[in-house]
Structure 1
Amino acid sequence: MNKLLVFICFISMNVFSKEVDLENIFSSSPAEGTIVIENLDGSTRYVYNETRANTQLAVASTFKIPNTLIAVDENLVSGKFSIFEWDGTEYDIKEWNQDLTLASAFRVSCVWCYQDIAKKVGAEKYKDYIKAMNYGTLPDKFDLQNFWLDGTLKLTAFEQINFLKRLYHHELPFSPKAFIVLKDIMLVENTENYSLFAKSGWARRVESPVGWYVGYIENNTGTWFFATNLAVEDSKQLYLRKQITMNALKSAGII
């Protein structure tokens, strides 16, 4: 059996393996990648490319998930309609060249908006938050406005899943309000069959460029968490992050 193509179900410490159709999904992609899909209680897990899934990579804009929680509890934003005022700087991404709300900044992954948050939070508080969340590690000195983009802060796909589960269970050191605001802005799709909560990310100016798509699905069978990352170096390939994730979720019968 291809070791990259595995469905693992842990029940009463017994391990069962069954092939799922992930190989075709990834073999047709121009970018190497991995995905981890796991249900709420951890009894069912799908993994493609376990070696890469255990490799720490720059968290990129998936850090906007915990950073939003931090911003709420530091009283830097109050809700989805909190405004970031654009200073007129022209960015390559046209959606950034305007005033943005917290919700729209999260959706278009506005770097300058969250860099504004970072300046106000400060390095020492970030080190405390990162430690308290068990969300990777930060060195004593780091670039305050780029540490999530420049490869300083890294996670594996498995660690992303672990964090998302603790987020879902509200087992992180944040207020109920912070969790409510974050869930509201993380909602990407809400259909009759499922609700998708997710965040993308792309770190390109690092030794190992990576594109992420992480989050969870709520459907009538329960909650499923996912973490996908791809070796994306070209913006033209960014669509693959969500496309591959959704195809994998369909293959697993989750959506």
Structure 2
Amino acid sequence: MIHTFGISFLLSNLVISILIAAILLIKRIFKKHISIRMQYNIWFLTLSMLIIPFLPVNTLGFQNLQNWMIGLHNVRMSNQNGVTQTLNNGKQLLSGNWLQDFSISINSKTPSYINVFLISIWTIGIIVMTTITIYNNHKIKQLKTSSLPVQNKKIRLLCKICVKDIGLKNELPILTSAYLNTPVTMGHFKPCIILPMYLISEFKLKEIRYILLHELQHYKHRDIQVNLWMCLTQIIYWFNPVIWYVIKEMRNDCELACDSSVLSMLDKEYHSEYGHTLLNFAQKLSYLSSVSGMGGPKKQIKKRIINIVSFQGESQWLKLKSTLIFILIGITILGFTPILSTHGFNDSIYKTSNIRTTTEDLSDYFKDYNGSFVLYEPNKDYCFIYNETDAMKRVSPDSTYKIYSALFGLEANSISPHSSLIMWDKIIYPYDTWNQDHSLNTAMKNSVNWYFQALDQRTGLQTLKHYYQKIEYGNQSLSGGISNYWMESSLKISPMEQVELLSKFYYNTFQFEDKNIQTVKDAMLLSSSNEANLYGKTGTGSVDGKNVNGWFVGFIEVKDNTYFFATHIQNNDKSNGSNAASITLSILKDKNIYSSE
């Protein structure tokens, strides 16, 4: 999905920004009903949401918008509006002129270089941001290296008491530095507290106690690791100003949460002393990346002082309300998970077949192609596969989808076994056989695109979706649009699935009307003799004038058995249904299953 990631990621960021705006609105409206600590915790939901675009999750309906903007899944065909058209001339394979391959080239709307450009810019930004972050952290490491252990025994003893008061098991080294003007807690692997050198000489012990309690709260709540998470988020989302605002607000709320944790430990009479200690840093501010500190911007200091003055302990009712709002926001984000994914569930590979398989080397038949061949014998419940990797890979079904378009149209009464005629729309098509009225049999024989497009329109998109989901057809995605979803667009299926579905279709596992199954079978009949009946459908994918995808799928009825097959071929120009059929017939002849002679 690298070819679509750029625009998909951009769309995900749009949705993310809207969700963040909604979260900010919820926090503002219910501010009095959310505890300070929970207001901070809500930001963790936001950070978690930013991971979703990189997760393999089904994109559901949002894929319509993605495909529309990406353009690589939506296509345009030639018509009377003057769009350029490229033809794949049908090739007669067998005597009687009954097997031909008809296709129309489609053109991709959006060049792939747009995605390459977006990804390139994003990658450059990541490299720049990573360089800046590494440089800043190097300076912080130098600061730590240049700091000295605190020698004041009273302060070291005070730190031990604070550690015990908070309930921590491990002590933190206490260092001092002349290069800081506010205390900080730093170090991802070996955390420590660094105090400004002037603080030890100018501040009273009770003020230093408040400072240590605040910094130890950062350590207790793992804010150092959270800062690292925020830095990584800024690197990945460097282009999104909304994310930068979130990080700023999260850091501010982190300080408020630490203040509240300290205040909850102190008697109310000491709250004003804690606030006074905080004010002492208002003129000596330092704001370092990947560092948790007691200082902050003046505006934030003011906000923290207001919080200290108005601080009230958390009641059980407040905790309950806070938890419910947190859960509500979490559920909302979870509901948007399928929309935020940039590449969707990894549905390009089919992995759930329960049929026993064995591989065969049929490479001599596929000299000029990448491709696969699958032959299923239900009597033995066994599959013979050439090139298992390709056989499990989902690609566009092209005209082979018409088997099921016909079946669904019959089931939905869009046509009937005795009344399947659809009038020609009078548009001049490249094949003479298309420029006339057609029944299901003639439309299937001549692979008449306009017939099946009109049939799908009659059946309706929602009904089609229902049926594709019912039979579990490939990735079941019709997001490419009702006219084009099958033609090098959104719908994908693997050769293995083609064979399995043909078997279920043949034996009517899905319990469709028997007469409808038989009607489609009759339309698929290619050759009949005393020895065997051959049913099948070709398909060709032609993009920008090049035949890139070829199919031949079907089944063969012999005296005591039925064989189901699917052949798929790909290359840069010569892949079409006719050539796929030629390969299939050669294999079947050599296996003594079917001969066209």
Q: TM-score, normalised by structure 2?
A: 0.38
8 Å CA contact 2:548, 2:573 repeated in 1: no
Structure 1 residue 53 corresponds to structure 2 residue 372: no
1:144-200 Cα distance to aligned partner (Å, 9 max, x none): 111011321111000101101111111124211211111111111001211001111
**Residue number in structure 2 paired with 1:213:** 552
Where 1:210 maps in the other structure, the secondary structure is strand
CA 1:179–1:232: 2 relative to 1, 3 Å: farther
CA 1:140–1:54: 2 relative to 1, 3 Å: closer
Where 1:58 maps in the other structure, the secondary structure is coil
**Residue number in structure 2 paired with 1:6:** none
8 Å CA contact 2:480, 2:491 repeated in 1: no
Higher relative contact order (Cα pairs below 8 Å, separated by 6+ residues): 1
**Residue number in structure 2 paired with 1:26:** 366
- Displacement of 1:224 after TM fit? 0.5
CA 1:253–1:221: 2 relative to 1, 3 Å: farther
Amino acid in the other structure paired with 2:579 = L
Tell me, in whole angstroms, the C-alpha distance in 1 between the residues paired with 2:500 and 2:568. Answer: 15
CA 1:33–1:117: 2 relative to 1, 3 Å: same
Of 132, 135, 144 in structure 1, the residue corresponding to residue 470 of structure 2 is: 132
Tell me, in whole angstroms, the C-alpha distance in 2 between the residues paired with 1:70 and 1:237. Answer: 25
8 Å CA contact 1:80, 1:185 repeated in 2: no
Structure-to-structure mapping, 1:179-190, within 5 angstroms: 179-190=517-528
8 Å CA contact 2:539, 2:576 repeated in 1: no
Bigger radius of gyration: 2
**Residue number in structure 2 paired with 1:231:** 570
**Residue number in structure 1 paired with 2:449:** 111
- Displacement of 1:23 after TM fit? 2.6
8 Å CA contact 1:58, 1:150 repeated in 2: yes
- Displacement of 1:69 after TM fit? 0.9
Tell me, in whole angstroms, the C-alpha distance in 2 between the residues paired with 1:170 and 1:140. Answer: 23
CA 1:180–1:241: 2 relative to 1, 3 Å: same
- Displacement of 1:93 after TM fit? 2.0
Of 423, 429, 432 in structure 2, the residue corresponding to residue 91 of structure 1 is: 429
Of Structure 1 and Structure 2, the greater strand share is in: 1
Tell me, in whole angstroms, the C-alpha distance in 1 between the residues paired with 2:415 and 2:453. Answer: 13
CA 1:172–1:183: 2 relative to 1, 3 Å: same
CA 1:237–1:205: 2 relative to 1, 3 Å: closer
Tell me, in whole angstroms, the C-alpha distance in 2 between the residues paired with 1:169 and 1:152. Answer: 28
**Residue number in structure 2 paired with 1:7:** none
134-143 or 115-124, which moves further after superposition?
A: 134-143
**Residue number in structure 1 paired with 2:378:** 40
Tell me, in whole angstroms, the C-alpha distance in 2 between the residues paired with 1:140 and 1:188. Answer: 29
- Displacement of 1:114 after TM fit? 0.5
- Displacement of 1:63 after TM fit? 0.8
Tell me, in whole angstroms, the C-alpha distance in 2 between the residues paired with 1:70 and 1:232. Answer: 31
Tell me, in whole angstroms, the C-alpha distance in 1 between the residues paired with 2:552 and 2:583. Answer: 9
Q: Which ranges of structure 1 fall in alignment gaps of 5 or more residues? A: 1-9
- Displacement of 1:232 after TM fit? 5.5
Structure 1 residue 250 corresponds to structure 2 residue 589: yes
- Displacement of 1:236 after TM fit? 8.3
- Displacement of 1:233 after TM fit? 5.5
Amino acid in the other structure paired with 1:124 = Q
**Residue number in structure 1 paired with 2:502:** 164
Amino acid in the other structure paired with 2:394 = Q
What value does the CA root-mean-square deviation take over the aligned residues? 2.6
How many residues end up aligned between the 2 structures? 240
Of 173, 178, 203 in structure 1, the residue corresponding to residue 516 of structure 2 is: 178
1:214-252 Cα distance to aligned partner (Å, 9 max, x none): 010011240100000111555785421111101111122
Tell me, in whole angstroms, the C-alpha distance in 1 between the residues paired with 2:436 and 2:381. Answer: 45
- Displacement of 1:111 after TM fit? 0.5
- Displacement of 1:140 after TM fit? 7.5
1:15-42 Cα distance to aligned partner (Å, 9 max, x none): 877x66x232222xx3322110111234
146-155 or 199-208, which moves further after superposition?
A: 199-208
CA 1:94–1:42: 2 relative to 1, 3 Å: farther
8 Å CA contact 1:160, 1:227 repeated in 2: yes
Amino acid in the other structure paired with 1:87 = D
Structure 1 residue 204 corresponds to structure 2 residue 545: no
Where 1:100 maps in the other structure, the secondary structure is coil
8 Å CA contact 1:203, 1:209 repeated in 2: yes
Tell me, in whole angstroms, the C-alpha distance in 2 between the residues paired with 1:237 and 1:174. Answer: 31
Amino acid in the other structure paired with 2:392 = N
8 Å CA contact 1:57, 1:208 repeated in 2: no
Amino acid in the other structure paired with 1:119 = Q
Tell me, in whole angstroms, the C-alpha distance in 2 between the residues paired with 1:50 and 1:68. Answer: 29
Of Structure 1 and Structure 2, the greater helix share is in: 2
